Amino acid sequence: MGRIVLVEGDLTSQEVDAIVNAANSALVLGAGVAGAIRERGGPSIQEECDAIGAIPLGTAVRTEAGNLPASFVIHAAGMPPGGSANERSVRDAVRASLELAAREGLHSVAFPAVGAGIGGLSMQRCAEISLEEARRHFETDTSLEEIRFVLFGEPAYRVFEMANDAARISAQMERLKKR
């Protein structure tokens, strides 16, 4: 089983196989995480996104990472352009990103809080959904060894930490009930 890692920091500085962009379905790198990726990664990322065009909500595609230390950017379409994310779109986008990373044979992937922030989903639900999908993914046959959640600021980190702790305690309680 792979490991889930929580980090407070800058997604664009992560040295992993791929970072995940909290994208809109038009693949326009606007503000928030996408804007930071565009700014630090350079124009080639947006150029590749333009060549791909719009993708369905809840899906994911891969581009090169330009000037970023990661090799690739996985664009997770968690919301429509100018719209909001919802629980279903975030769950589908996180799952699609993990499946894409595994199909590509990647070993490490770093996620932001997909759907929170500009997307409007609460950080708590974002954390719960993202961590559930990461744990489920590790129950499959996957090339991934590490799924990293890189949270911008201590408040976001703490929410993910509490959600992760709650899930671990719940799993431990279930194991104890079975004895």
At 20 the pLDDT is 98
Q: How far apart are CA 48 and CA 88, in angstroms?
A: 26
Tokens matching residue 52:
């791909």
Sheet with strand 3-8: strands edge to edge = 3-8, 146-151, 108-111, 18-24, 72-79, 60-64
Number of domains in the chain: 1
Question: 8 is in which domain, residue-wise?
Answer: 3-177
CA angle 30–34–36, rounded 5-degree value: 100
Phi, psi for residue 69 in degrees, rounded to 5? -70, -20
Tokens matching residue 145:
């060894």
Give the pLDDT of the chain (179 residues) as one tens digit per residue.
799 999 999 999 999 999 999 999 999 998 889 999 999 999 999 999 999 999 999 999 999 999 999 999 999 999 999 899 999 999 999 999 999 999 999 999 999 999 998 899 999 999 999 999 999 999 999 999 999 999 999 999 999 999 999 888 888 888 888 87
Q: What secondary structure does DSSP assign to 111-175, as a single string?
A: E--TTSGGG---HHHHHHHHHHHHHHHTTS--S--EEEEEESSHHHHHHHHHHHHHHHHHHHHHH
Q: How far apart are CA 113 and CA 104, in angstroms?
A: 22
Q: How far apart are CA 177 and CA 179, in angstroms?
A: 6
Contact criterion met (CB below 8 Å) for 117 and 81 = no
Overall pTM surpassing 0.85 (yes/no) = yes
What's the CATH code of the domain at 124? Answer: 3.40.220.10
Contact criterion met (CB below 8 Å) for 140 and 133 = no
- Which residue reads 């996620």 in tokens? 111
